[in-house]
Each structure stands twice: as C-alpha cells, then as structure tokens.
A = this chain, B = another copy of it.
C-alpha cells in the first residue's frame, strides 16, 4: 500500500490545496518568490493538509474554510524545515538543493520567517480566534522542541521522558493539531475534535519513533542518507537510549560511547533489542490512535485514517 492510494478519494481537493499553496506564497518580492516556490516545488507528502481534510469530514466539510487551515499548517511545516536546514548546514533535502545552499543562510532565515508569518496570516482568514491560538501555540512548541533537541545533543544521560517530550513537540503536536483543526474548522462536536487530536498525537509519536528506527535499519539508498545519521549528529533516539540505559549489554555499550566509537555503536544498535523495543512502543501508539477513532461514525475518512496508521506501522522508508 502507498500513501497516494490512501489519498486517492481526496485527490481533487488535494490538487486544489496545492494551487492554494502556490497562491499563499505569491509575493512581488522576487527573491522571496523564488525561494518560496523552490521550497514548494521540492515537494513533500503534504501529510498535514491530508489530515486537515480527513478531520474536516467529521463535521460540515467545506473546502473553502478548510483550505486556510491546511495551507497554514503545511507552511508552518515548510518554514520549520528551512530553518532546520540552516541549523544542520544541509545542502540537500529530498534530493533537491536547500534554500541555504542555493541562496545563503541569511535568505533562508528570512524566507523561513516570511513563511511562518504567511502561515499565520492565512489562518486569520478564519475568524475563529481559537484556531489562531492553537496555531501560534504550535509554533511556540515547535521552537521549544528544536531548542530541546539542540540542548540534548550528545547527552546520554537524558531520560526516555525527555526523548518523548522532544518528539512530541518536534513532530507529534503539528500532526495532532492538523487533525484537530480540520474538525474544528468544520464545526465538529468538541468530543470529535478531541478524538481527532488524540488520534493525530499518537500517530505523530509513532511516525517519529519509526523514523528514528529507520534511521538505523532503513535502506540507505531509499533513505538517501547513511545508517545512523542521527547518532552521528549527536541526536540520541530511542534505540540508542535503550542500549545505553536498559539493555543487558549496557555496560559494553557505554564503553563504546566513552571511546566515541560511533560506527560500532551503530552496528550494535542495529542488531539490538532496542529496535524491537522502539517498534513495540510505536505499535502501542498506533493502537491508541485507532482506539481514539472507535466511537466515530464509519466513513471513508475514518477508513483512510486507520489505513494511514497501519501504513506508518509497516513503512520501510
């Protein structure tokens, strides 16, 4: 199963969102126009808009209202990627040159700022102040998560709770509010809005944990980066934390850490129980995601949300 198969019933609305994304970044300033459309054309799965539309199906689905939320969330995601690339000094993303490498760091920073602000401006087309509040809060959390990630780099003494809080802020919250705001903008009942938030949060956690697993064991060609890239950059994720703190072989592993033998650490983690532990945790989140939807009416959208959860559990890259 591919994600595009799951989205198939919603493809015409997704095409419409794509055109709206184009319009959203339209500006007379030629540099910003170029950097923003470069970013947009670099692609991405547009998973946040998909969640918005799926959430909207549980209320009065109106694409003219939902589009503002969908575009806003995708732009927030895009802006955070541009700033990440500055920080990571990344030359490529999804096989395309990053804004910071094609232009420079200064341009990349202001392009990110511009897109963040654009995102919030577009959301103000909807007059519900609760939506504005949730969106600006999401950016606050996103930035806090990024700072936490920098702070926790190379820190082996961080707890599992630290890790979970970080991936919540970095990834899960934005997916949670995509589902939530879709339902909210469609005037779904508070219970439905809440359930979609819970679904999104759990799917987001599972998504990031899976991402962190695949960084160790995924196909290097498909991932487009060497195995263990996170660890090489000092980003200590669940499988590594397990090896260091919990595994029966922790003592040996700590020796490797002490001597900074990264290649060996990666080899050990790839074959360790840490991977299985992380998989089981991801599955637990996915189960909770599905449970949150149980009381909701059966419809195509619920079906798609459940399929997405299964897809995340099974994905290989």
Contact = CB atoms under 8 A, between A and B. Distances in A.
B140 A110 contact: no
A207 interface: no
A110 B83 contact: yes
A147 B32 contact: yes
A139 B86 CA distance: 20
Contacts of A40: none
Interface stretch (A46-54, A119-127, A213-221, A308-316): A119-127
Interface string A95-138: 00000000001110111111011101101101111001100110
A113 B127 contact: no
A31 interface: yes
A250 B120 CA distance: 45
Interface size class of A (residues with CB under 8 A): 35 or more
Nearest to A117: B139
A122 to B, nearest CB: 8
A110 to B, nearest CB: 5
Most-contacted residue by chain B among A106, A126, A142 (CB, 10 A): A106
A87 interface: yes
B144 A114 contact: yes
A147 B87 contact: no
A109 B87 contact: yes
A304 B298 CA distance: 64
Contacts of A114: 140, 143-144, 147
B110 A150 contact: yes
Contacts of A140: 114, 117-118, 121
A146 B83 contact: no
Contacts of A30: 151
Nearest to A106: B87
A158 interface: no
Smallest CB-CB A-B distances: 10 pairs: A117-B139, A114-B143, A121-B136, A120-B136, A124-B133, A117-B140, A113-B143, A127-B129, A87-B106, A110-B146
8 contacts: A27-B144, A83-B113, A113-B139, A117-B143, A118-B136, A120-B120, A120-B139, A129-B132
Interface of A: 27, 29-32, 83, 86-87, 105-107, 109-114, 116-118, 120-121, 123-124, 126-129, 132-133, 136-137, 139-140, 142-144, 146-148, 150-151
